[in-house]
Amino acid sequence: MGKVLVYVETTGDTVAPVTFELLAAARALGGEVEALVAAPDPGLVAAQLGGADTILTMAHPALAPYLPEAHVAALAEAIKSRNPDTVLVGSTSTGIDVAAGAAAASGRPLVAYCLGLEPDGGAVVARSQVYGGKLVATTRTEGPAIFAVLPGAFKDAAGRAGGKGQRALLEPPAALGALHTRFVSASEPEPGIDITRAERLVSVGRGIGGPENLELAEELAQALGAEIAASRPVVDSGWLPRQRQVGKSGMTVKPKLYFAVGISGAPEHLEGMRDAELIIAVNSDAAAPIFEVAQYGTTCDLFDLLPALSERLKAATG
């Protein structure tokens, strides 16, 4: 498989978990594994990348805080100078900018939303989640290409160590000195309830219909001693606060119980909850992808089931 280049995603000086998964995926593809660290001062990040054979560092002040334009230029430059066969980028928020941007700049094809990658002769066979997780597309790619890999698709262990630890410096491209994007400010999630600490979550999706029906879920949560969580559309509609959002752009939770109500199970939602110990899902669509990760499911109408269940729980727990 020649050479695989991994784009290293970071939060401050911390390597994002998906990066170790990408390094593991790169290792499994075979061949040399290179990792690109594009940062003002790449040293601290580079020191965390024991899974790479060669750590490529590109230093420039414009590389943090994150700007899509700057990181696209950095990755495109690394592709040009290192000419890897395969490039792996996390299918994260930043990955959307970076993978497609670098694909366009380098003229390489992009295969997005990858769940699995396998070498096949000189080609790469990838499985990708499409149609909101209802279908899986298998693609076959010959020649140089970029793959955007979903967080959680690979185990990170094999990507944390075992590399040769060589270093190489890359010259930053001139474009970094003439950017059209500027950083203004950043914000962390608002303080308040922390759903990542809850042992039990009742999580509400768009199937709940409207804010007037939330009390059905709140009643169930109370009977279970659970906190309320939500999918993104529920939060975007203003029915519940942002701190309660589970998924790609929300929180990642691992409660003992995740009780999903009226949630379809889009990949961006599953990313935040698939590792819960017990998942029970209520969804009237038997083909909803939430049932792929749930241990138990029912197609009962939530408006019938929730009151019936709350009543029984109250009777059982007094």
Partner 1 sequence: MHIAVVLKQVPDLVEELEIDSAGTDIDRSFLKMKLNEFDDHALEQAVLLKESAGAQVTALALDSDGVDQVLHSAVARGADKAIKVAAGDGPFASRQAAPALAAAIRSLNVDLVLTGVQAADDVFGQTAPFLAAELGWPHVSVVSGVEPAGSAVRVRQEYSGGRMAVLEVDTPAVVGVQAAPQSPRYVPISRLRQVMAGGPPESVTATAGAAPAGTMVVALAKPEQAGGAEMISGSTDQVAERILALLSERGLLRG
Ligand X SMILES: Cc1cc2nc3c(=O)[nH]c(=O)nc-3n(C[C@H](O)[C@H](O)[C@H](O)COP(=O)(O)OP(=O)(O)OC[C@H]3O[C@@H](n4cnc5c(N)ncnc54)[C@H](O)[C@@H]3O)c2cc1C
CB of 17 to partner 1, least distance (A): 9
CB of 244 to ligand X, least distance (A): 11
Q: 71 is written with which tokens?
A: 């990181």
Q: Please identify which residue in 44, 59, 105, 193 interacts with partner 1, judged by CB under 8 A.
A: 105
Q: 18 is written with which tokens?
A: 């998906």
Q: Spell out the residues 6+ positions from residue 1 whose beta carbon is closer than 8 angstroms to its own.
A: 29, 30, 31, 85, 86, 119, 124
- Return the CA Rg of the chain: 22
Confirm or reject binding of residue 3 to ligand X (CB under 6 A): no
Q: 132 is written with which tokens?
A: 């909101």
CB of 215 to partner 1, least distance (A): 18
Q: Please identify which residue in 67, 78, 228, 253 interacts with partner 1, judged by CB under 8 A.
A: 67
Confirm or reject binding of residue 308 to partner 1 (CB under 8 A): yes
For residues 220-279, which are near partner 1 according to CB under 8 A? 223-226, 232, 236-238, 242-243, 245, 248-252, 256-257, 264, 278-279
List, as one string, the DSSP characters of 261-299: ES----HHHHTTTTT-SEEEEE-S-TT-THHHH-SEEE-
User: Residue 95: how many CA atoms within 13 Å on its side-chain side?
Assistant: 27
Question: How many residues in the shown chain lie near ligand X by CB under 6 A?
Answer: 28
For residues 172-191, which are near partner 1 according to CB under 8 A? 179-189
Confirm or reject binding of residue 250 to ligand X (CB under 6 A): yes
Confirm or reject binding of residue 64 to ligand X (CB under 6 A): no
Confirm or reject binding of residue 171 to ligand X (CB under 6 A): no
CB of 229 to partner 1, least distance (A): 12
Is residue 156 within 8 A of residue 149, CB to CB? The reply is: no
Question: Which of partner 1, ligand X, none does residue 223 bind (CB under 5 to 8 Å by kind)?
Answer: partner 1
d(CA 254, CA 293): 13
CB of 226 to ligand X, least distance (A): 18
Residue linked to tokens 């727990």? 317
The residue among 96 and 123 lying less far from ligand X, judged by its C-beta, is 96
The residue among 42 and 250 lying less far from partner 1, judged by its C-beta, is 250
Among 32-40, 46-54, 101-109, 155-163, the segment contacting partner 1 (CB under 8 A) = 101-109
Question: Which of ligand X, partner 1, none does residue 141 bind (CB under 5 to 8 Å by kind)?
Answer: partner 1
Strand pairing category for 54-59 and 32-39: parallel
Looking at residue 118, the DSSP 8-state letter turns out to be: E
First to last CA, the chain: 62
Among 26-34, 44-52, 80-88, 200-208, the segment contacting ligand X (CB under 6 A) = 200-208
For residues 258-317, which are near ligand X according to CB under 6 A? 262-264, 266, 268-269, 272, 282-285, 288, 301-303
Q: C-alpha 164: how far from its chain's center?
A: 27
CB of 93 to ligand X, least distance (A): 6
d(CA 160, CA 33): 12
Residue linked to tokens 């003229």? 107
Looking at residue 148, the DSSP 8-state letter turns out to be: E
Confirm or reject binding of residue 66 to partner 1 (CB under 8 A): yes
Is residue 232 within 8 A of residue 247, CB to CB? The reply is: yes
Is residue 61 within 8 A of residue 41, CB to CB? The reply is: no
Q: What are the residues binding ligand X (CB under 6 A)?
A: 93, 205-207, 231-233, 245-250, 262-264, 266, 268-269, 272, 282-285, 288, 301-303
